[in-house]
Every structure is written in C-alpha cells, then in structure tokens.
Structure 1
C-alpha cells in the first residue's frame, strides 16, 4: 500500500468531534457569521455593503489519534525506513485507540447588508464537510506490520473495530437580524448533497495465524454501511449531485445583558442525508483467508480481504437506501470586552464556550482570549474535552471593516510535533503522548460596494424597515425598539 493511503488513514479518516474553530468566536469575520448566524459581519458607517471570499477557501481541518498506535503510524508515514514499529503495540490485550477529526471548507461565502433599520444580513454559501471517527485495536496495526507479531492461537475479539466516515456538499442560505438593542437572531438553512458514506461496527472476531505460510484465517460479524455499491465511485460522483439529498439547519441567538455580557446559544448542523438506492446496509458474519502477509503488498491484501468479507454475497443482496444524521451539536458561550489601557488602544475579549454533540458523547469546554491592538488581533485558546485531551491554540488576524485575513491552529503543540515528525525528526516520530494530531485553519474575505451609512448622510443605502422577526417581536411585546 502506498504511503499516501496510510496518510489518508491517519489524517482523512480522522477528520469530527470538530473542526470547531473556537478561535473565531466573537471576531465578526464572515466565517464567524456563517458558523454562528446571530453574529454580525457588517459595521454601519464603516463597512461596505457586500462581503465575499472571492472563491478563496476558508477552511478548518483537524485530526487526532490516541493510544499505542501513534508511533507505528508516524514511523510508517514519516521515517526514512517506513515500516510499522510493533514494539509499542500490545498483542492480545484488546487495547483500542480513538481517532477523530473534521474538515469544513467554504468554497463560496457571499453576504449582503440589506436593511439599516432592521440591521438585517442575508448570505449564501457553499461548503464541503467531512465527519469521521472510530476505534482501532493495537492488533489491527500489528497485522499490517508482520504476522510474526501473533505468537499465540487462536485470538478472539482483537479486531472489533468501529469506523464512520461521512462527506457531503452543503449549500446554504443564511439570515441574521437584530431584533432590538439587546437581542439578535439568525439561522442557516442548508441543502445537503451526499458524497460518500462508510461505516462498520465489528461486534465479534476470531483469528487464527499461520506464520509458516504467512497467512491468517479471520472471521468477523457485525454491521456494514456503504454508498457507491455496486461498483467503484467515479470522479463524477464527487461533484455536487442530487443522488443522496438531505437538509440541515443551524439556529443562533445572542443577547447582551445590562452588564454588557454577550451570551450566545447555537444549535448547529441539525440534519440528515438520505443515501441513494446504490447504497448498502447489511449484517455480515463470514470468514476469509488473508494470504501474502510477509509480502510487500500485505496492506493491500488485508484491505481487499476484509472489504470482500464485508461485501459477501448475502450482504450484497441488501443494496438499498438508508438515512444518516449529521453531527449536530449545541453550543453556549458568554463573553465580555475590556479596554486594558486608558487610550483604548488595547482590547481584551475573553469568551467561555461549552460545546456538546447531540448524537455522540463528545463535550468540549474552551476559553478563548482575544487581545486586539488597532487592526491586529492575537488569540490564545485553551480547550478540554471528554477524551481528557487538553489543547492550547493560537490565532493571528488582521481585520479592518472591509478586509480580513487570519490563520491559526487549535492544537498548537501537537501540530508542531506532527510537522517535525513529517520533516523526519525521529524524536517526534517516536514520541507517544496523550495523542498525535494536527489542526489548521485559514480564512480571507473582502467587502465591496457602497458604504453603509446612517440617515444623516445616507447617500447610497436606504434605511429599509425592520426585518420580519423584528416586526413580529414588536407586535408580540408592543415595543418600538
């Protein structure tokens, strides 16, 4: 198996709990306004009317893997002698390693300011998302290394792995309105176009190894899901199409208290995808023999044999559509701004965030610290999740009312270690910490058009009227705000 496939395993399949860019909270960037739809991205009397990324992707990606397999994977990927190191793996102990990650890439972000009186913003976006997670045993990676690692026979339940990958296109319409001086509301309605889905849950396994003949007999039972069955996907399948449609919604609110504390609440990406009739959802309970475990092609042999087992003749009769959920989550945050010098040159904005996945156990708490000097912002983010992973991130941003560019990472130390490993640093290749992983995000947008002006000198943008929700609020609560 070529190195690129191992890299795909280590990074792409690990891409979920979150490409959450906590560092973007309360920055007022175009990306922030699409991800947290109650946030404004325009400033009257300063901003121009339209905001656009000019097709330059604004994206975030993260990945991590925990446990004993870290060294083996990094050695296979980055070492000058690219082989798995099985010395760190424990055979027969059924020790499992988590992998988890996310990709969220906006190809198009376009937003306009439509009403000064109602402070209304509307937008359109296109993005590509990938969500994945799973558990893999030490023995699974040891099998890729050498059949001689297995000195006892037979073995039970050492390959009870779990895996899920879902990728899709997302086309969205967003709306944001300030209902009164304290309360704002926004939403993002999305059409989802499924690209790829793959999932397996192995609930039982039995293996007998023959090191003399370099082969293994493997039995597995469990549940398997896959799109693109029958046949292999073509390049056309990765383009947006309506074969596997879905929908999702993101709802956000923000409220400013009398103490000037901004409280945000968001429900994000609550939705589903209905996969086409070319898909497969079936149980499997079968046995296969894997040969050539001492050859240079053993990785391909293992992969092909296991996939054939999943797609047994009986399983292939179960071809048909099924429906999956998107990785929805709820978030709650509180923030407050402080001027830290008498001349009001330095501004400090701390934000406390809690994020909980709806369909999984994932919970993350984060503290985001923005320090702004004129148009420059430096951010330090600390986060801790239910996997007991503590992370420190950093972001640098240059932002004016009509231009913004930023970049950073939410896993500064581990991203640096993985980068050094990729450059061939053997110390970092051999390092086994709490986890190995990476995180990176980049963004850019520009505003153009006429300047948004208040009534006294409004020469381009009409006042307009309050938005729909503002008018409804006024009727319900009899207020003119």
Structure 2
C-alpha cells in the first residue's frame, strides 16, 4: 500500500509547488484613496486620476489555507522536526487538527501597467496585469488513510474527490464607471485574456477497501495540461520500457518544453454598482470574471477507471531465485498498482474551453454622521469555482483624518479560517503609496511559513496621481 500513499502524496505536493484567480486588496474596498478598488468592483472610483509605476504599481501575493505547517510537522524530543507519519505522533493528535476538507491556495496579482482618468462622462481605467492562481483540495479521509492504513478486519476509506488546479494568464482590461443619478453609480469592464498555462488534475469517486482477503482501490483520475510548446510523450513515443497495455502511459520523465507562445485566449466581463440607500449608508455589488478561456495544446490523460484488486500472494516460495519468491511478487504488486494509477494519454494538441471562476462581491458602508471621516463596513466575497469555491465576510473600520492619509482595519471569517486585515494609504499630491494585508501572519516557522492556518499575503503599490 506504500505505492498508493506515495502517488496521492505527489498530487498534494503539486499544489504546494506551483504558483488561485487573484484579486486586489479587499482591505482597501472602503478606502476612498485606494486607487485599485475598481479591480474589486468596476463601479468604484478613486478621488484622483493616476498611472502606476510599471510592475511596482500594484503587487498582491499570498497563500491561504485552513491548515498550516504545524498540522504536518511535529517537534521531537531532541528539538528536531518529524512528519505526521512518524509513530511518535499519535493518530488522534494528527487527525484532530485537520478539517473535513483541507484547502490550500496560492495567489498572485501583479499590475504591469494601470491607469485611471476622467473622460467621456465618467471614470475610465486601463489595466494590464499578470494573474496566477493555484488551489488544492484534499479530504481528511486521505490523510487518515496515510496515517492509519488498515486499522481493522474491514477498513473502508471513501475519499470522494481531490485535486489540484492552476491557471496563469495576462489580463488586459478596459473599464468605465459613471454616475447615473445622485444615488446610483454603475461600472463595467471588458477584459481580453492571454493564456499562459493551465493544469488540472483530479481524482473522483475514490474508494479504498482493505480486509483480510483482499485490497481494492477504485478511482477515476484525469488530467488536463495546456501550455504552449509543452510536449508530454507516451512511453511508446519516448522509447521507454513498458509492459502489455502500457504504451499509452504518460511519460513525465521525457517531457520537453519547446518554443513558448500564447497558451490561449479568452474574454471576460465585470459588472458593478453602488447605491446610496439613505444618508450615510451605501450598498454595492459586483460580479467579476464572467467569461471563458480557450486553451491551446491541451494534453488530456486519464486512468482506466477500473477497480484494482490484490488478493494476496500466490504459491509463495522461499527461494529467492524463484518466480514466486516474495521479492518478485512484491515487485509485481508494485508494477501492477503503478500501471493502474498511472495516466494514459488520450489526446494531445487539442483545444480546451473552460469558464472562468466568477467572483460575487457585496458590500455595505455606513459613514458616521458625527464624524464623516470615520466609517464602518461589511464586505462579502464568494468565489464560484467548483470544489475550489470559497467565501469570506469582513467587518471593517476605516478612518481618513487627513486629506492625504487614511487607514483601515478589518476582521474576516472565511472558508480558510478567521483573520485580521489592514491597510495604510498615503496619497499627497503627485504620489500615492499603499501597503496592506488581508491576512495578518500569525506564528511562523524558521522558513517564515505560517504554522497554523496557511494564511499570509502582502499587497503594496506606488503610483503617480494628477
């Protein structure tokens, strides 16, 4: 059964090694001088026109998760670290710290060029930016299987669905926002998307049955990888050794990267609005990334979707040179299982169209009548992305005591746990500088990786205003 654990663990590590779609800083949603809140809701505008310093104008990078490093690494008596698989770590201690569904993600949103200006009866924006998103989804039963193995005469693990998904593309966005009347403002963005890379690997209907007479594993696994110039041959094409029925197995060891190019093309639309319900109270809503992406050079592979069974060793011989020796039968067991779990390439070089992961944003802000430089707000964000979907609610307090300075702090509860966020924004004449975090870092390890929930991000930017 070690082969099962190694293979599924490799899927998990793919998610932590690759670099979810990212967005602007949520902590700046209710901050008047934050120049990039139009990326959260296209109806929102800043007080000033601006153009960003190339690459440095708006950088937002972070990781998130409802588990952290402390869930998988444990201190030993000699002040070293060991993994959760060590016998010194009890199953109750390890499994007690996990969620039913364990999520991890990595986001990056970097503006290569951004500008905003007033013309044509409203406020207009141009954004050219790089967006990268990776998400990982693993049920608790998978880790229970890794830790416990066969724990009784009849052990069943129903792992359901698990997978990792990564998308990278360049976005070119044109936006326009205008005041309709004293209370209503609307905005929209049209976006052209230039594909970089897409990868999606998942296992569904995964079930492991272990009893005294037989082990049985069933899973439907598939993979789509679309990267311009990438070639992933089969074992038959690469000339590698393979057994009967294994010629179409994917040979990752001999994949090659040719001349890079455009990985695909897509279109998307953002829509938003704000409305002053009563004096001092404004509500807002937006739907972002309504659209699709068509990827080139897609490589599709899948498992054979048949149950794999092991019913014990047959006619076991103690002679090391015999065909039925324990070593030979263990080798055959490993080969049979690897053949079952490995992916067979079904097609290469085709097209793949996928809907984008849309985001729904709803906000409400109340400006204090006794001091109009102080406000309180609530922001709800929901990412619609199949098994990688998540939601978040933030309560915020914001203050702008000076015409060139404002700050905000907020508390959020999400699918990744609870967290604090903040922003400070300096915007005297000519320049605008902001720094903020949606996830304040808690306790970290020596490598500065969060020990508890894997929530950490930093957003900052420098722009010229006029």
Residue 103 of structure 1, CA deviation: 0.7
Residue 305 of structure 1, CA deviation: 10
CA distance in 1, matches of 2:149, 2:219: 24
- The structure in which a higher percent of residues are strand is 2
TM-score normalised to the size of structure 1? 0.68
| 3-state SS of 1:416 partner | coil
Q: Which sits farther off after the overlay, 276-285 or 219-228?
A: 276-285
Distance 1:423 1:22, change over 3 A: closer
Gapped regions of structure 2 (runs ≥ 5): 1-5, 234-251, 311-334
CA distance in 1, matches of 2:292, 2:412: 28
CA distance in 2, matches of 1:357, 1:60: 17
Distance 1:110 1:20, change over 3 A: closer
TM-score normalised to the size of structure 2? 0.70
Gapped regions of structure 1 (runs ≥ 5): 44-48, 211-215, 290-303, 430-434, 452-481
Residue 121 of structure 1, CA deviation: 1.6
CA distance in 2, matches of 1:75, 1:222: 33
Of 88, 102, 109 in structure 2, the residue corresponding to residue 105 of structure 1 is: 109
Aligned CA RMSD, in angstroms, stands at 4.2
CA distance in 2, matches of 1:151, 1:438: 34
Alignment pair present for 1:265 and 2:285: yes
2:164 match: 164
| 3-state SS of 1:71 partner | helix
CA distance in 2, matches of 1:203, 1:196: 23
CA distance in 2, matches of 1:378, 1:113: 24
Alignment pair present for 1:441 and 2:458: yes
CA distance in 2, matches of 1:206, 1:260: 58
Matches within 5 A, 1:247-258: 247-258=267-278
Of 115, 118, 122 in structure 2, the residue corresponding to residue 119 of structure 1 is: 122
Q: Is the contact between residue 422 and residue 436 of structure 2 (CA under 8 Å) also seen in structure 1?
A: yes
CA distance in 2, matches of 1:422, 1:7: 20
CA distance in 2, matches of 1:6, 1:197: 12
1:412-445 CA-to-partner distances (Å, cap 9, x unmatched) read 2xx222x246469xxx85xxxxx62122121213
CA distance in 2, matches of 1:12, 1:420: 18
| 3-state SS of 1:122 partner | strand
2:131 match: 128
Residue 203 of structure 1, CA deviation: 0.8
Q: Which sits farther off after the overlay, 105-114 or 131-140?
A: 131-140
Matches within 5 A, 1:33-182: 33-43=38-48, 49-56=49-56, 57-66=58-67, 71-75=70-74, 80-85=80-85, 87-89=89-91, 96-115=100-119, 118-137=121-140, 139-140=142-143, 143=146, 150=150, 152=152, 155-157=155-157, 159-180=159-180, 181-182=182-183
Alignment pair present for 1:356 and 2:382: yes
Matches within 5 A, 1:232-251: 241-251=261-271
2:361 match: 331
| 3-state SS of 1:285 partner | coil
Count of matched residue positions in the alignment of Structure 1 and Structure 2: 394
1:383 match: 412
1:360-416 CA-to-partner distances (Å, cap 9, x unmatched) read 46332221211223233332212223x48333223333233542333333332xx22
CA distance in 1, matches of 2:457, 2:66: 16
Residue 329 of structure 1, CA deviation: 1.9
Alignment pair present for 1:365 and 2:393: yes
Q: Is the contact between residue 230 and residue 278 of structure 1 (CA under 8 Å) also seen in structure 2?
A: no
